[in-house]
Amino acid sequence: MQSLLKSRAPACLHPKRAASHFLLSGIAKCGYCGNALIGHDGKSGQFSYYVCGTLLKKGAGACKAKYINSRKFEGLVIDKMKEHILTEENLRELVHLVNEKMDAASQEYRSQLNIVTEEIVKVNRRLDRLYDAVETSSLSLDDLAPRIKKLLADRDKLQAKKLELEWHVKERKLELADITTVEQYVQDLHSLLNESPLAERKSFIRSFVKEVMVTGNKVLLNYTILLPPKGLITEEAPVLSTVHYGGEGGTRTPTPCGTRS
């Protein structure tokens, strides 16, 4: 399971996103204009928000988006991940789906391996017939040398392909996740989301959340995979806290959060 999560995590983050102390930078977007939601610290340093990039750059009126309380917004996404990913039931089903996919890949490799093995047998038979022809003097070695050379080259390629396929079959067998082992990861993964360094938490979230789109007081989570047991790929939930913002020196007034539809 650890290798699965590692393989799903991005190889690297954009330097600006990696340096940002906002957990959802890079995946949070404005549902009105499609621009990124940018982490923004208040002047006092006591509060922080996610702000539509259009609104932040062009000022009030440029976009209908509101400032979103960063702590509650990030907490909402983490809670949804715990609800739909980091439970024993969901992880069991997820492992089952992953195993099925990996086993299907293994079967394909085994099928290709059988074909390559049969081709090697055919090439060896052809070589044997040519060697027999040389021994019985029905044909000279000079006549058969080009054909023998080509068949030897073909066999070398097939044997190399066979080794590669055998490695893939073995690798798939070793990587099949064990459900009992996965159960031990549940608490560790909860701790990872709550206590790990920011870079690790960002990477983990991006393993399962492709995009978080905010429109008004609603947030739409777009997952990277179908999540068991209901096959969710998107989910709508209320943003817990938004604020109106009147620009520099303006006022901030909390607005009611929406209801889940």
Q: How many domains does the chain divide into?
A: 2
What are the beta bridge partners of residue 223? 209
In a domain, 171, yes or no: yes
In a domain, 6, yes or no: no
- Domain shared by 144 and 170, yes or no: yes
In a domain, 17, yes or no: no
Of the residues 181, 216, 246, which one is the last residue of a structural domain?
181
Sheet containing 67-69: give its strands across. Answer: 37-41, 48-52, 67-69, 242-245, 252-255
pTM over 0.75: no
Of all residues in the chain, what percent carry a pLDDT higher than 70? 66
- Domain shared by 176 and 230, yes or no: no
State the virtual CA torsion across 111, 113, 115, 120 in degrees, nearest 10. Answer: -170
Across 234-244, average pLDDT: 56
How many degrees, rounded to 5, is the angle at CA 245 between CA 239 and CA 250?
A: 155
Spatial distance between the Cα atoms of 241 and 69, rounded to a whole number of angstroms: 6
Spatial distance between the Cα atoms of 186 and 94, rounded to a whole number of angstroms: 12
Helix (H, G, I), strand (E, B) or coil at 172: helix
Give me the pLDDT at residue 17, please: 46
49: closest CA among 33, 65, 31? 65
In a domain, 10, yes or no: no
How does the average pLDDT of the chain come out, rounded?
A: 75
- Domain shared by 73 and 99, yes or no: no
- Domain shared by 102 and 220, yes or no: no
Q: Give every CB contact of residue 95 below 8 A, 6+ residues apart in sequence.
A: 1, 177, 178, 179, 182
The larger pLDDT score, comparing residue 239 to residue 34, is at: 34
Whether the bond between 229 and the residue before it is cis, its omega within 30 degrees of 0, is yes
Domain of 157 in residue numbering reads as: 95-181
Give me the pLDDT at residue 194, please: 76
Pairing of strands 67-69, 209-215: unpaired
- Domain shared by 101 and 82, yes or no: no
Give me the pLDDT at residue 124, please: 93
In a domain, 16, yes or no: no
170 confidence band (pLDDT: 50, 70, 90): confident
The larger pLDDT score, comparing residue 94 to residue 166, is at: 166
In a domain, 190, yes or no: no
- Domain shared by 136 and 161, yes or no: yes
In a domain, 7, yes or no: no
- Domain shared by 217 and 247, yes or no: yes
- Domain shared by 176 and 101, yes or no: yes
Give me the pLDDT at residue 233, please: 62
Of the residues 181, 214, 239, which one is the last residue of a structural domain?
181
In a domain, 260, yes or no: no
- Domain shared by 36 and 60, yes or no: yes
Q: Give every CB contact of residue 18 below 8 A, 6+ residues apart in sequence.
A: 12, 199, 202
